[in-house]
Amino acid sequence: MKKYVLLSGWILAFLVSAAQTKTATKSPTALANGRNIPITLTPLKNCKVYLGSYLGTGRTLVDSAILNDKSQGVFKGDKKLPGGIYFVVSPQMTIQFELLMDDIQHFSIKGDTTLKDQAEITGSKDNDLFKSYTAYSIEKGQLRQQLSNAYKAATNKSDSTRLYNSLTALDKEVQQYRMNIVQQHPNSLLAMFFNTMKTPETPAIPVINGKPDSTYPFRYVKEHFWDDVAFNDDRLLRTPFFEPKLDDYFRYYVSPEPDSIIEEVKYMLLSARTGKEIYPYLLTKFTNKYMNPEFMGQDKVFVYLFENFYAKGDTMILNPASRKTVTERAYSLMANQLGKPAPVLNLTDTTGKIVSLYGLKSAFTVVAFWDPNCGHCKEEMPRLDSFYRSKWKALGVAIYAVNIYENEVPAWKKFIAEKKLAGWTHTYQTKAAKEAEERAGAPNYRQLYDIFKTPTLYLLDKDKRIIAKQLSLEQFDDLIVTKSKQK
């Protein structure tokens, strides 16, 4: 199985080196079972052209052919290419025209770089269907543009109504054309593409027992969003519309709550499990998205992925560096999930006394990890103190602050004194305590609290369970005020 690098590093647009690697001479039997696609592309001569495909939101080159002095060449190999939408690429790396790659990969291509819309594909039923649809789509697209322009320019209600109805009728006609292809050619690539592209029409709000059910249209669209789409179909990756549809689904139809996301991710990954390429692609996509999520608490999705997929053997799809990153990040997040008890802290204060986080008795506790020489910390710590003095202290908030560098004790104490950060519990880990922890093989608080930047802040409840993390001071303030009113 291929190795996949995190952060989409494995999706390289126009991966020329891969396309330039040609297959050695193969036996006739091998070629018959693989691909053999002659191409004539005038006026190009004595140069290399490429065959590319979509791959998620990117594009990649998959093969190359040398054109002779008659503009003729051949894309060939002993293995079939994955099905999907492909395109011919010139030596200047410009896309000439698209074609479909179905299961029968013995057809011919004839085109001209000056007449890109007149390319001919011979010997492929899927491409015959694609050509007919493309011509129809261009014709109807031009008509729609004319109607749309006229609708925008209409100056009276009668014309607006007439043009609007014409646009609606045209859209229905195009949709019916696609449905006819799906019904008449259900096993074609085009049918699969149309099934993937379609979005359910929003139904009217029904009235049940005399009351309108305003949530029904949303539920209906969500429940039917993926009708007729098989998540284990690798061909989905080689379209430009599957991943945008996937992103729209999570953006508009899935609650941002981590448990809701987990339910969707689990279903998709288990459905895609038998897909050779789409399964690792989706797992990588979800890992990248939720390893450092946009919203607080969604890192729970990443922890779920690690515990239920990577920890059960799926790290084999990663290269060594990515495997190390995923594993270390997972262990850094496991101990500080929202709702869990905060990891134990027994650190030394400014007087040399060990102070326990769990020894603080307060309605809320803000745990602040900072560095006295960090420019951002120098700005944020006094601001934190302002919130504490003006509002939080009266609401029962305690601050347990941790200097993360044991060799910065003088600078730490100086900053505390200069900024008059009184009323806090100021602590740090001594060098001796750190070394003892390392000898015992115990996890360090930097890992337990996922400290990779400063300042890093957590908000705990009275039982020292994590309420929030990685928010701005203003967001922490809003949350503390809100929760105080709920008591």
One domain for residues 325 and 405: no
Among the three residues 122, 149, 164, which one is the final residue of a domain in this structure? 122
Q: For residues 116 and 133, state if they share a domain.
A: no
Cβ distance 235 to 83 under 8 Å?
yes
In a domain, 436, yes or no: yes
Radius of gyration of the chain measured on its C-alpha atoms = 30
Structure tokens at 366: 């803000």
Do 20 and 64 reside in the same domain of the chain?
yes
What are 487's two structure tokens?
């008591």
27 and 75 belong to one structural domain: yes
Any domain includes 76: yes
Per DSSP, the three-state class of 134 is helix
Give a yes or no: residue 68 inside a domain: yes
The reply to whether 5 falls in a domain is: no
Per residue in 169-180, pLDDT (tens digit) is 999 999 999 999
- Residues 253 and 324 placed together within one structural domain of the fold: yes
In a domain, 2, yes or no: no
Domain that holds residue 401: 346-485
Q: Beta 466-469 vs 108-112: how paired, if at all? A: unpaired
In this predicted structure, what is the pLDDT of residue 312? 87
CATH number at residue 447: 3.40.30.10
Judge whether 371 lies within some domain.
yes
User: For the chain, how many structural domains are there in total?
Assistant: 4
Which residues neighbour 202 within 8 Å (Cβ) at sequence distance 6 or greater? 217, 220, 221
Tell me, yes or no, whether 424 lies in a domain.
Answer: yes
Q: Of the candidates 215, 289, 186, 308, which has an alpha carbon nearest to the alpha carbon of residue 246?
A: 289
The whole-number mean pLDDT for each consecutive block of 10 residues of the chain, a chain of 487 residues, reads 38 33 42 85 97 94 97 95 96 96 95 94 95 93 94 92 94 94 95 94 92 95 96 96 96 96 97 94 96 94 96 81 91 94 96 96 97 94 97 97 92 95 96 94 93 95 96 96 90
Are 356 and 481 members of one domain? yes
Place of tokens 């609401």: 395
SS3 102: coil
Residue 29 maps to which CATH number?
2.60.40.1120
Q: How many CB atoms lie within 10 A of CB 457?
A: 22
Pick from 343, 344, 341, 364: nearest CA to 354:
344
Answer whether residue 396 is part of any domain: yes
Pairing of strands 120-122, 108-112: antiparallel
Edge-to-edge strand order for the sheet containing 58-67?
Answer: 58-67, 47-55, 84-89, 95-101
For CA atoms 266, 271, 274, 275, the dihedral sign is: negative
**Of 122, 154, 186, the domain-final residue:** 122
Residues 6 or more apart whose CB falls under 8 angstroms from that of 56 comprise 8, 11, 237, 242, 243, 281, 285
The domain boundary residue, chosen from 122, 150, 176: 122
Three-class SS state of 110: strand
Same structural domain, 79 and 177: no
DSSP state of 396: T
Q: Looking at the structure, do residues 138 and 109 belong to the same domain, yes or no?
A: no
pTM of the predicted structure, to 2 decimals: 0.84
Task: Examine the domain organization and report whether 247 and 279 are in the same domain.
Answer: yes
CA distance 55 to 64: 17
Q: Are 475 and 358 contained in the same domain?
A: yes
User: 98 with 140, same domain?
Assistant: no
Residue 134 and residue 217 in one domain:
no
